[in-house]
Amino acid sequence: MSQVSTVRRAGRKSPVRPAGRRTAARRTATRTGQYAALLAYLAFLAFPFLWLVSTAFKPPRELGSIHPTWIPGAPTLDNFRQAFTQQPLLTAAGNSLLAAAVSAVIAIVLATPMAYVLARHRGRLARAATGWVVISQAFPLVLVIIPLFLILKNFHLVDSRAGLVMVYAVWSLPFALWMLTGYVRAVPPEVEEAAAVDGAGRIRTLVSVTAPLLAPGIVATGLFAFITAWNEFFFALVLLKSPEKQTLPVVLTHFIGTEGVADLGPLAAAALLATLPSLLLFAVIQRRITGGMLAGAVKS
Amino acid sequence: MTLATAPRRSAAPGRTPAPRRDHATWFLVLPALIPILVLSVGPLLYGIGLAFTDAQSGRTRATGFVGALNFTDLLHDTLFWDSFRIGLVWALGVTVPQFFLALGLALLLNVNLRLRWLARALAIVPWAMPEVVVGIMWRLVYHPDAGILNETLRDLGLSGTGDGRDWLSGLATALPAVIVVGVWAGMPQTTVSLLAGLQNVPKELHEAAAMDGAGAWRRFRTVTWPALKPVALAITALNFIWNFNSFALVFVLTDGGPGGRTRLPMLFAYEEAFRYGQFGYAAAMGLAMVAVISILLAVYLAGRLKGDDDR
């Protein structure tokens, strides 16, 4: 990189100018500018989260102070204890865990075979499916939630965890299909053909040759579906009424609105706890997700 | 391409009768297709149908077909169009700055800088967080007394006009304040997509242009941008749709207040449907949103693609 830029500067048509020092100075200036910009981005991206962490560990006295500080003077875990007594966080976390895990597993089981077909046979079906992925993104949820609400009500699945799981599973299907199709394409068909030549049947080939190669992609897609469902708010808000069935995001909103300054601590603590699973899982799959999106993008 | 045709070729020599392959294909496809049809395509069509009825929640009388009545009502519903206008301001106000900020970040991340790993990791954080938590977090930032924003402004001596300003309940500040949150929350997807797009930029061309003495801006215009453009178009269009349809963030931040200044169309339709029980009317709102957005996007994409030919 640096070599290239030296060549570039030297190649400029400025016969009299002593090249070396000026270009070096300019390069330093560019670098400084780049680092300054990067630091500004880092600050912008990080500061709300750091503030959340800071608030979560502050005692009420400091939260009420006129001049809030970045670092809690006397950090405390009280807010976390308070959060659990104010709202049924454990139940809510259990509900979220159940909905997210079950719907992610269902989505993967349903999507993987179809993704295989979409990747291997490009035809009308594949185009229709891709079209649907795009269209399903464009429609406002309100147009889907009203009929879903009415349909689920007919089957007594409103205010039921099973109903929510079904909705989540189907809702994560488009993205799961999109990602998995990319992963299947990355498995060369020659591998499967070789297995077929060796006399393995079609199903056998899929199970013992293709599936293991796909495993990392399947895990990443499943975790992504899990995070999506864990974070989801709108469907849960509309479909669940009983407090003991509500998921974490919905329960978190119960903290809001009536908060005096003293309640900010528990609010921040609960919000922080609710985020940790998503953050940890996302850190695990980050590379694969961006890779999967790349794969999806490259094919078009 | 060869990859795609290979399996088909391998099937041909054995002369496997076509129907058998179809059976296998359907067997693989149906498990996903049926739920999509029943719980996604079906409800969507049902929802479009509902827009032409007087469906209400908890009503005993049968739902009747009312033709375009909901839409004529909607035309005269100034509250809804206010909300619609706010939705457009919000969607543009978020999408445009978000694109330029994300483009800058993507270009920086594409350069070999120290701390790049940290920026990459941090750039992802907003993506992983539940929207509700993002909203709560920014409420803490904006909090009039205990928030860091007012404190920072005080420290910088910038709080002149109003100490302890309540950003989210001020008539003038509420919408800009939620727009900033929207920009923050959507940075990751945009940055990651643009970063992926930057991998398509031919390196040799860049170096050649540099040899010819093209400055950084010219190289960006003539080499980077043409390769990046399809990705940029796609992500801005998607961002616009997502932002226009967004709900949770603003629901948590302001719940549409103050005085409806941040009441996005989705919040409006949600209240109509689940607070007042007007299912048919709310569905009509949803349909109106789709229609207007589709037209806007068609104009945008057509304009962009034509601009491509002109150059």
Q: Which one, of A163, A181, A68, A43, lies nearest residue A120 by Cα?
A: A181
Extract the runs of DSSP E, i.e. beta strands, from chain A.
none
pLDDT score for A110: 93
Nearest residue in chain A measured CA to CA from B280: A146
Helix (H, G, I), strand (E, B) or coil at A287: helix
Residue A49 in contact with partner chain B when CB distance is under 8 A: yes
Residues in A 223-282 with any Cβ partner in B closer than 8 A? 227, 230-234, 238, 248-249, 252-253, 255-256, 261, 264, 267-268, 271-272, 274-275, 278-279, 281-282
Contacts of B245 (CB under 8 A, 6+ apart): A139, A140, A141, B266, B289
ipTM above 0.90 for this complex: no
Please give the Cα distance from B237 to A138 (Å, whole number).
10
Q: Which of B5, B20, B23, B39 to mutate to test the interface with A (most CBs of A within 10 A)?
A: B39
DSSP string, chain B: -HHHHHHHHHHTTTT--HHHHHHHHHHHHHHHHHHHIIIIIHHHHHHHHHTTB---TT--SPP-B-TTHHHHHHHT-HHHHHHHHHHHHHHHHHHHHHHHHHHHHHHHHHS--TTHHHHHHHHHHHHHS-HHHHHHHHHHHH-TTT-HHHHHHHHTT--TT-TT--TTT-TTTHHHHHHHHHHHHHHHHHHHHHHHHHTTS-HHHHHHHHHTT--HHHHIIIIIHHHHHHHHHHHHHHHHHHHHT--HHHHHHTTT-STTTT--HHHHHHHHHHTS--HHHHHHHHHHHHHHHHHHHHHHHHHHHHHHHH-
What single letter denotes the amino acid at residue B142?
Y
CB distance A157 to B57 below 8 Å: no
Question: What local confidence, expressed as pLDDT, does residue B8 receive?
Answer: 41
Residues of A in contact with B195 (CB under 8 A): 290
Q: What residue of B is the nearest CA neighbor of A132?
A: B41
- Distant-in-sequence, close-in-space partners of B171: CB < 8 Å, separation ≥ 6: B258, B259, B261
| Low-confidence residues in chain A, pLDDT < 50 | 1-17, 294, 296-300
Of the candidates A167, A177, A188, the beta carbon closest to that of B3 is on: A188
Give the span between the Cα atoms of A70 and B146, in whole angstroms: 11
Mean pLDDT over each residue of chain A, to the nearest integer: 83
Q: A266: which DSSP letter?
A: H
Partner A contacted by B187 (CB < 8 A): yes
Start-to-end C-alpha separation, chain B: 30
Nearest to A97 by CA among A242, A260, A266, A276: A276
Taking residue A38's Cβ as centre, other Cβ atoms within 10 Å add up to: 21
The identity of residue A72, as a single letter, is: P
In CATH terms, the superfamily for domain B77-310 is: MetI-like (1.10.3720.10)
pLDDT of residue A107: 95
Domain locations along chain A: 2-44, 88-299
What digits encode the pLDDT tens for the residues A37-77? Answer: 999 998 999 999 999 999 999 888 888 777 788 888 888 88
Is residue A286 within 8 angstroms of chain B, CB to CB? Answer: yes
Please tell me the predicted confidence (pLDDT) of residue A21: 66
Mutate to test the interface with B, among A143, A253, A259 (most CBs of B within 10 A): A143
Closest Cβ opposite residue A173 in set B35, B119, B131:
B35
Would you give per-residue pLDDT tens digits along chain B (311 residues)? Answer: 333 433 444 444 434 444 445 677 788 888 888 888 888 888 889 999 999 988 888 766 677 788 888 888 888 899 999 999 999 999 999 999 999 999 999 999 888 888 778 887 787 788 889 999 999 999 999 988 888 888 888 888 776 555 677 888 888 899 999 999 999 999 988 998 898 888 888 888 888 888 887 788 888 888 889 889 888 998 998 899 999 999 999 999 998 878 889 999 999 999 999 999 899 999 999 999 998 888 888 888 887 776 655 44
- Amino acid, res. B223: V
Helices A161-185 and A264-299: angle between axes, nearest 10 degrees: 40
Give the pLDDT of residue A19. Answer: 52
CATH number of A88-299: 1.10.3720.10
CA dist., res. B95 & res. B92, Å (int): 5
DSSP state of A208: I
Cα distance between residue B272 and residue A158, in whole Å: 19
A264/B146 Cβ within 8 A: yes
Least Cα distance to A35 among B131, B113, B124 occurs for B113
- Interface probe for B, chosen from A57, A142, A191 (most Cβ of B below 10 Å), is A142
Reduce the DSSP state of residue A292 to 3 states and report it: helix
First to last CA, chain A: 31
CB proximity B81 to A under 8 Å: no
Tell me if B264 sits within 8 A of B246, measured CB to CB.
yes
Chain A partners within 8 Å of B113 (Cβ): 34-35, 38
Q: In whole angstroms, what is the distance from residue B22 CA to residue B290 CA?
A: 36
For A180, the 3-state DSSP assignment is: helix
- Can you give the pTM of this predicted structure? 0.85
Give domain limits for chain B: 77-310
